[in-house]
Amino acid sequence: MRAQWLIDLHDEFPGSAVVAAALDDALIVEPHDAMMGRWPVVLDGRPLVGYGTMQTMRSLCRVPRLGEAVFDDYAMLRCTSYYRHVYDLLGRTAIFVPFSAVPDLPLRRMFGSDQVFIRSDTNYKLFPAGVHNIAKLDRWLQTYDRYRDELVVVSEVVPFEIEYRCFCRDGRFVCGSSYPNEPYLPVPDQVRAFAETAAKRLRAHGYTMITVDVGVSPDGVLRLVELGGVNSWGIYGSNVTAFIAAMEAEAFARADM
């Protein structure tokens, strides 16, 4: 018996079309149906797997029975939740502060640079994460002032020559590739081992299936970019067969709990 897939086909999330093409009987959720809350009818007896945009998956997880298709716990995927377990793997200084506090921080003295990196604490990005020139930060902060009560991560800027996305289940690498630009390259052994180190730590705290994004700096040092979920994370050049098998194994394991 196979799991029943619910695929959110969306132009902004090309991975869903790749996965859907590899499945025989996936139930397709069109963008307008997701917006209106019109969901497919599923039969009992088959575990569910959802894959698509984060907006649709977040809506789906609130629907009785269909919510089982979403494995991602968005509260656990906050930086404030998982940084404590992998902070040493970041390879850079990072702090949490309210968005409203950023203008008052002595950023140059704190990070010894004219630039800082700022991202949302949440894994569903409230605003674009990026590198900012401290001297020009005020206008950007004003643009997103509506998030002034949210926590953000402020960190020193570190360069990456290439980044890899690694899907891991139960602390073991499943599939992955470089991202986000083609040509997609296979994950080197040392990156795979680094990703598994992070995944094993998180497995002990209830994160059964996650993505581990790893950056390679010009000097060859590996650094954790971020941890993410699996239902709304692009597979890029990952082996789609391995991805499907791991997602279905997770669905069956959860159904037996």
Tens digit of each residue's pLDDT (9 = 90 or more) over 191-241: 999 999 999 999 999 999 999 999 999 999 999 999 999 999 999 999 999
Asked, for residue 50, whether it belongs to a domain, the answer is yes
Q: What is the 3-state secondary structure (H, E, C) of the chain?
A: CCCEEEEECECCECHHHHHHHCCCCCEEECHHHHHHCCCCCCCCCCCEEEECCHHHHHHHCCCCCHHHHCCCCCCCCCHHHHHHHHHHHHCCCEEEEEHHHHHHCCHHHHHCCCEEEEEECCCCCCCCCEEEEHHHHHHHHHHCHHHCCCEEEEECCCCCCEEEEEEEECCEEEEEEEECCCCCCCCCHHHHHHHHHHHHHHHCCCCCEEEEEEEECCCCCEEEEEEECCCCCCCCCCCHHHHHHHHHHHHHHHHCC
The pLDDT of residue 5 is above 90: yes
Share of the chain above pLDDT 70, in %: 100
Query: Which residue, among 146, 106, 154, has the nearest Cα to 129 in the 3D structure?
Result: 154
Query: Quick one: pLDDT at residue 19?
Result: 97
pLDDT, mean of residues 35-41: 89
The pLDDT of residue 257 is above 60: no
69, 119 in Cβ contact below 8 A? no
* β partners of residue 210: 168
Query: Quick one: pLDDT at residue 32?
Result: 85
Q: What is the mean pLDDT of the chain?
A: 95
Asked, for residue 217, whether it belongs to a domain, the answer is yes
Per-residue pLDDT band at 44 (split at 50, 70, 90): confident
Residue 121: CATH number of its domain: 3.30.950.10
Query: Quick one: pLDDT at residue 236?
Result: 98
The pLDDT of residue 92 is above 80: yes
CA 37 vs CA 31, 61, 106, 146: distances in Å: 10, 12, 46, 27
Asked, for residue 246, whether it belongs to a domain, the answer is no
Asked, for residue 234, whether it belongs to a domain, the answer is no
Query: Quick one: pLDDT at residue 124?
Result: 85
Considering the domain architecture, whether residues 176 and 124 belong to the same structural domain is answered as no
Considering the domain architecture, whether residues 111 and 140 belong to the same structural domain is answered as yes
Residue 206: CATH number of its domain: 3.30.470.20
Asked, for residue 25, whether it belongs to a domain, the answer is yes
Asked, for residue 241, whether it belongs to a domain, the answer is no
Give the sign of the dihedral formed by CA 82, CA 88, CA 91, CA 94.
Answer: positive
What does the alpha-carbon distance between residue 241 and residue 218 come to, in Å, rounded to a whole number? 32
pLDDT, mean of residues 148-163: 97
Considering the domain architecture, whether residues 150 and 98 belong to the same structural domain is answered as yes
Number of independent structural domains in the chain: 3
pLDDT, mean of residues 43-59: 92
pLDDT, mean of residues 135-163: 95
Residue 12: Cβ-neighbour burial (10 angstroms; 0-12, 13-18, 19+): exposed
Q: Which domain holds residue 141?
A: 92-155
Tens digit of each residue's pLDDT (9 = 90 or more) over 95-111: 999 999 999 999 999 99
Per-residue pLDDT band at 34 (split at 50, 70, 90): confident
Asked, for residue 149, whether it belongs to a domain, the answer is yes
Considering the domain architecture, whether residues 115 and 135 belong to the same structural domain is answered as yes
